[in-house]
Amino acid sequence: MFAGNLTLTVGDFRMTSGDFRFDSDGVTALFGRSGSGKSTLLRAMAGLDRHTRGTLRFHDEVWQEGRRALPAERRDIGMVFQHAALLAHRTVRGNLDFAASRAPTDRGAGIDRDQIIERTGIGPLLDRAVGNLSGGERQRIAIARALIGRPRVLMMDEPLAALDWRAKAELLDLFETVIRDFAIPTVMITHAPAEVERLADRVVFMADGGVERVETLKEALGRVDSPLFTEEGPVASLDGHLEPVDGEPYRLRFVTRATGGDEPVTLWLTHDGRPTDTGPRRLRVRGDDVALARGRVEGISVQNQVDCRIERIETSGPGRVAVFLALTDGQRLVSEVTSRTVDHLALAPDQPVTALIKSAALMG
């Protein structure tokens, strides 16, 4: 649990968080427009700026009280920034050794170093000089280095922002599995709603230098005015399992995790055939990829036909409507249709409907 109320002035900008409190387990995303104060709040929480004032507690430990601050190194935070500041005169291995030498010794063994190297995929890079590594490789090393430091919390400031789309996708997969498997509470700044939807358990929305609200991801995706929705419109995020399909390299099966209901939902995904980490995964489903029918449809190319119930219907834009759908497993999907469709199909809350999703819209 993080709880506090912090202020920090940098130049002409004053960050005044206001009271905030959120669970620290899993992933917390700091989300807000450019200049809303996300980096300033993260620096204040990490104890990286001695001008920070206010209060901050991590569980029952006091990190800030007025002008008294627990030194950053005693907070045991692993930091990852947009550009990894690696020690230029050392190899990758040398950078990891340096991090290990500074790790606190009073908290057990931490995560096994070989396991970190294996999971972040940096084994082949260990003897390389850091000068000529790609951005994606540098970020893998940055996260390995942060983990080797045995952090109690991981704080990341736009760790994927500087990468091309392929490196981003690979690192996103890595973050998702590493953060979950090593169970390190993570606070992460990102501008990309897709990253929030894939990784976050809760979202701290920031605006004008303060914390506006804290919501679970489910709450944040459950309102049409969510700041997470861009011009793409509303989006849903499903928790589940990715599974290979025997003899079909270009297809994956996604089985949702039953959270509140009883019956998991199976979705078929198009896959490009590359080796992929199967196992627990989040699946992002755009509302405009979900069509609606009053029942199952025969003779149609759409592979995913999902029985659900209309939860709510809300206007999402001019002539556009978001239909929030409850799945049989307790999770929620959203479909964005025209208001004409709602009239035409006479859609109403509580009605059973079939959601139609092309498998090609769900790349695995």
Ligand X SMILES: Nc1ncnc2c1ncn2[C@@H]1O[C@H](COP(=O)(O)OP(=O)(O)OP(=O)(O)O)[C@@H](O)[C@H]1O
For residue 37, state whether it binds ligand X (rule: CB under 6 A): yes
Of 7, 9, 39, 266, the one binding ligand X by CB under 6 A: 39
Nearer to ligand X, 36 or 52 (CB): 36
Nearer to ligand X, 210 or 364 (CB): 210
Number of Cα atoms under 13 Å in the Cβ half of residue 148: 25
Burial of 329 (0-12, 13-18, 19+ CB in 10 A): buried
φ/ψ region of 202 (left if φ > 0, alpha if ψ in -120 to 50, else beta) reads beta
Q: Please provide the size of the chain in residues.
A: 364
Of 3, 5, 9, 10, the one binding ligand X by CB under 6 A: 10
For residue 35, state whether it binds ligand X (rule: CB under 6 A): yes
CA distance 237 to 203: 14
Of 17, 24, 40, 95, the one binding ligand X by CB under 6 A: 40
Q: Tell me how far, at minimum, the Cβ of 299 lies from ligand X, in Å.
A: 49
For residue 38, state whether it binds ligand X (rule: CB under 6 A): yes
Q: How far is CA 336 from CA 98, 205, 305, 329, 356, in A?
A: 51, 24, 16, 21, 12
Per DSSP, what are the bridge partners of residue 236? 285
For residue 287, state whether it binds ligand X (rule: CB under 6 A): no
Of 4, 32, 78, 185, the one binding ligand X by CB under 6 A: 32
Contact region with ligand X (CB under 6 A), list: 32-40, 144-152, 165-173, 299-307: 32-40
Number of residues in contact with ligand X, rule: CB under 6 A? 11
Q: Tell me how far, at minimum, the Cβ of 170 lies from ligand X, in Å.
A: 23
Nearer to ligand X, 40 or 304 (CB): 40
Q: Write the single-letter amino acid at 302.
A: V
Nearer to ligand X, 32 or 234 (CB): 32
Q: Tell me how far, at minimum, the Cβ of 44 lies from ligand X, in Å.
A: 9
Contact region with ligand X (CB under 6 A), list: 6-14, 66-74, 195-203, 226-234: 6-14
For residue 161, state whether it binds ligand X (rule: CB under 6 A): no
CA distance 249 to 153: 38
Q: Residues 86, 95: contact at Cβ < 8 Å?
A: yes
3-state secondary structure at position 356: strand
Q: How far apart are the first and last CA of the chain?
A: 33
